[in-house]
Structure 1
Amino acid sequence: MRVIVLGAGVAGVCTAWYLLEAGHEVTIIDRAGAAAEETSFGNAGQLSYGYTTPWAAPGIPKKAAKWLLKKHSPLIFRPDGSLFQLQWLKQMLANCNHDRYNLNKERMVRISEYSREMFRRFEDQTGLNFEGRQKGTLQIFRQPHEVGAAEKDIEVLAAYGVPYQRLKAEECLQYEPALKGALPKIAGALHLPNDGTGDCHLFTQKLAALCVERGADFQFNHTIERIEHTNGHVHAVYASGQRFEADRFVCALGSFSRPALAELGLDVPIYPVKGYSLTVPIVDEAASPVSTIIDETYKVAITRFDQRIRVGGMAELSGYQITLKPEHRETLEMVVNDLYPNGGNLSRALFWSGLRPMTPDSTPIVGKTRFDNLFLNTGHGTLGWTMSLGSAKIAADIVCDVPTEVRSDDLGLARYSA
């Protein structure tokens, strides 16, 4: 069977990998010049299987109103002039209740835990080096009320058998010794030992090379122009003047899935939520993080690579345009300097931004569409790296008409019309 995958980010390349594993002929089309050159390039770096939490949660509207007034806000909102932005916000707010939160959290944890298992199998199979570490995530809370609010997430972790440990401030040092100077600022913490880290860009590029070894055809520098279809069936994709035919198609275009599929009449509720990151050269390993630290107050993650620190965070709703504004860099610098003041050289840091493909319920869209040979693996929000192998295996199994190893019937686009 010939399959075309649209998108060579981590979601698309992982999907291609499992389709190749199943013995199919795979072509991957992307407008960039190489794999993982956009959203997968500079993400926060954490494989946060245990820290899988919907953005749409009870209390978020009230929190958001307060965040918008802060100097170092984790949320930035700027009207982009589109009706869709308002519609998406309305849908997201409709998910900010306990019932929807619990449903969405269960779906997300299901995918993330499956992805953790897929990463274990993948690393056993390939031994791929992507500067990965298996040292867990430390979620720190600066305020006592944040410690109490984490109990809802802990209930879901317990229900799924995800290991965790509540910590007092001084107990954080057994996992992150360099936090010693920041202890007075920490009210408590949660340690998730099954979480990992790694360079998503490095992983995706190396995986793309493995795909090529297995016969994958990457068509880079090809902008998708239109999709040829009749009677609920896709025939071909036109990209940069070329026509590409296949038996089945998978859309893994992240934030660009919605505009790409609009001509098919598919309403894909994915909004581009900008995130920002710094990549900081390490100057003192003893003063640097060991794994990933998530600062719950500022919603900023600090992750250790081999000789670099990746600092990622913030959510900006302002459309597709990317502008590297100094005030956002200042927020990231403030957080990492507050917790690890002597770890890296901020003057040499690389400042980056990418578009996270966010759904209103925070759950990715994986599965069938009303077109009999078009499938989706998109909308992972801030967890594309974490969910990459799990959602890709689910998507590939659905494409191949193979029963999925975990429940998947509630992950498709149809849930928005139910």
Structure 2
Amino acid sequence: MKVVVLGAGVVGMAAAYYLAKDGHEVTVIERHSEAASGTSRSNAGLVSPGDSTAWASPAALKTFISSLFNPDMGLKVRFSLDPHFYLWTLRFLMQCTQGRADANTAVKLRLAFYSRQCINALQAETGIAYDERRKGILYFYRSEQSLAAGAKHMQYIADRGLTIEVVDRNRLVELEPGLAGVRDQLAGGVYSPLDQTGDSYLFSSQLTAVCKQKFNVDFRFDTVVDGLAIEGDKVTSVRTSQGPIGCDAVVIAMGPESALLARKVGIDVPVYPVKGYTATIPIAEDKGPTMGGVDEDRLIAYSRLGNRLRLASTAEFAGYDRTFKPTDFRTMFKTAHDLFPGAVDEGKALCWAGLRPMMPGSVPVHGRARYANLYLDTGHGHVGWTMACGSGKFLSDLIANRKPEIDPAGLLYRN
């Protein structure tokens, strides 16, 4: 079957790999000149089942109000005339009950666990390298109060299968010597040994080569998707800037742009862009962290990618604006200097901003949407890197009409 995958981010690339492995004739269409040039270009680098908690929760409204008065908070809102922002916000608030938060978190965790298995199996099968480290991730706190709240928060995930260790400041530094200089400033943390890190851009680039060489996947870079040609209940071709491309099935994996295309064919996919900022800084071999971490009080994540430090922060509602300015990285750099004295030269930082495709309940959507041969694989939010391979394998099972290896409850698209 000829399957056209729209989008060559890490989610689209994973889908293309599993579909091609199934024997399909796969074409990938991407508006950029290479894979992982949009949302997947520069994320936090965390493959983190430990970060599966749904954003929508009873505490979300309090956080939103606080953000209006504190410009240094991780959440920022730029008010807009876009009606889709207000509709998305309403849907988000409807997911903020404790019952919905728990249910959404459970679905995310199930997919994250499965996806971690898939990415490690894929790496073993292909031999690709992407500065991966399987040392776990530390979620740490600066006060006893926030540590107690964080440990309680993580216990819900632990009760559903995530291995965690609540650690004091001494054990924290034992696990991560890179934090020795700030031991007295930290209360402790939660260590998730099953979490890991890696560079999604390198992963996607390496996977592109595998798909070309082993499976003869056809990549159409520098090609813009204009729409879908539909006859009856099927998509017959994808309309692009380079002309129509025929298909037997289409997968929408376009990240934050997924909703824009879906609307053109009458499908409601409630994905909205949430901007995040990252900085990538070269560091010496003997300096900085040895594993991934999250400063939970300042809402700043980091990972070690070879001899690079990747910093990430902020969830900003600013529509499809990808611009940034130096002040957007002020708190990020200050925190990096605090945590790793002498390791960071911000003058050498490669700064970036990208858009996360967020669903109101933080759970991505998969499967058939309205038309018999149109499929979704989108809406992964801030954990697209974590969930990409599990989503791709799950989608390939759906397209092949196989029983999925993972329970599909909560993951399938509903009109």
Q: Output the TM-score relative to the length of structure 2.
A: 0.97
Greater shift, 36-45 or 405-414, is seen at 405-414
Query: Partners of 2:360 and 2:145 in 1: how far apart?
Result: 26
Deviations 1:341-391 (A, max 9, x none): 222221100000101000000011111212110011101001010111011
The answer on 1:410 being equivalent to 2:410 is yes
Greater shift, 198-207 or 69-78, is seen at 69-78
**Structure 2 CA distance for partners of 1:50 and 1:93, relative to 1, 3 Å:** same
Query: Partners of 1:115 and 1:2 in 2: how far apart?
Result: 25
Hey, what does 1:273 align to over in structure 2?
274
Structure 2 residue matching 1:413: 3-state secondary structure: coil
Query: Partners of 2:181 and 2:261 in 1: how far apart?
Result: 49
Hey, what does 2:156 align to over in structure 1?
156
Deviations 1:222-259 (A, max 9, x none): 10111111322111101114111111110000000001
Hey, what does 2:10 align to over in structure 1?
10
Shift of 1:152: 4.7
Hey, what does 2:96 align to over in structure 1?
96
- Would the aligned equivalents of 2:126 and 2:210 in 1 still touch at CA under 8 Å? no
Q: CA RMSD in A?
A: 1.3
Deviations 1:251-300 (A, max 9, x none): 000000001111111111000000000000103x3330011110111221
Hey, what does 2:221 align to over in structure 1?
220
Hey, what does 1:185 align to over in structure 2?
185
One-letter amino acid of the counterpart of residue 314, structure 2: M
Query: Partners of 2:265 and 2:175 in 1: how far apart?
Result: 50
Q: How many residues align?
A: 414
Query: Partners of 2:113 and 2:14 in 1: how far apart?
Result: 16
Query: Partners of 1:169 and 1:294 in 2: how far apart?
Result: 15
One-letter amino acid of the counterpart of residue 79, structure 1: F
Query: Partners of 2:343 and 2:330 in 1: how far apart?
Result: 17
Hey, what does 1:355 align to over in structure 2?
355
Query: Partners of 1:54 and 1:169 in 2: how far apart?
Result: 27
Query: Partners of 2:150 and 2:97 in 1: how far apart?
Result: 16
Q: Please give the residue correspondences for 1:340-379 in structure 2 after superposition, counting only pairs within 5 Å.
A: 340-379=340-379
Query: Partners of 2:72 and 2:412 in 1: how far apart?
Result: 36
Extract unaligned runs of 5+ from structure 1: none
Hey, what does 2:292 align to over in structure 1?
292
Q: What's the % identity of the aligned pairs?
A: 35
Query: Partners of 2:31 and 2:154 in 1: how far apart?
Result: 41
Structure 2 residue matching 1:227: 3-state secondary structure: strand
One-letter amino acid of the counterpart of residue 258, structure 1: A
Query: Partners of 1:277 and 1:321 in 2: how far apart?
Result: 15
Query: Partners of 1:158 and 1:321 in 2: how far apart?
Result: 37
- Would the aligned equivalents of 2:151 and 2:190 in 1 still touch at CA under 8 Å? no
Hey, what does 1:251 align to over in structure 2?
252
Hey, what does 1:56 align to over in structure 2?
56
Query: Partners of 2:389 and 2:339 in 1: how far apart?
Result: 31
Structure 1 residue matching 2:355: 3-state secondary structure: strand
Hey, what does 1:233 align to over in structure 2?
234
- Would the aligned equivalents of 1:252 and 1:377 in 2 still touch at CA under 8 Å? yes
Query: Partners of 1:145 and 1:233 in 2: how far apart?
Result: 55
- Would the aligned equivalents of 1:4 and 1:249 in 2 still touch at CA under 8 Å? yes
Shift of 1:146: 2.4
Query: Partners of 1:298 and 1:365 in 2: how far apart?
Result: 30
Query: Partners of 1:91 and 1:325 in 2: how far apart?
Result: 31
One-letter amino acid of the counterpart of residue 277, structure 2: Y
One-letter amino acid of the counterpart of residue 271, structure 1: Y
Query: Partners of 2:117 and 2:335 in 1: how far apart?
Result: 32
Deviations 1:290-328 (A, max 9, x none): 111101112211110111000011001010011112221
Extract unaligned runs of 5+ from structure 2: none
One-letter amino acid of the counterpart of residue 368, structure 2: K
- Would the aligned equivalents of 1:178 and 1:286 in 2 still touch at CA under 8 Å? no
Shift of 1:407: 0.9
One-letter amino acid of the counterpart of residue 311, structure 2: V
- Would the aligned equivalents of 1:369 and 1:412 in 2 still touch at CA under 8 Å? no
Greater shift, 71-80 or 265-274, is seen at 71-80
Deviations 1:138-196 (A, max 9, x none): 00112333223334543333333221100112211111112122123212200000111
Query: Partners of 1:29 and 1:178 in 2: how far apart?
Result: 42
- Would the aligned equivalents of 2:151 and 2:166 in 1 still touch at CA under 8 Å? no
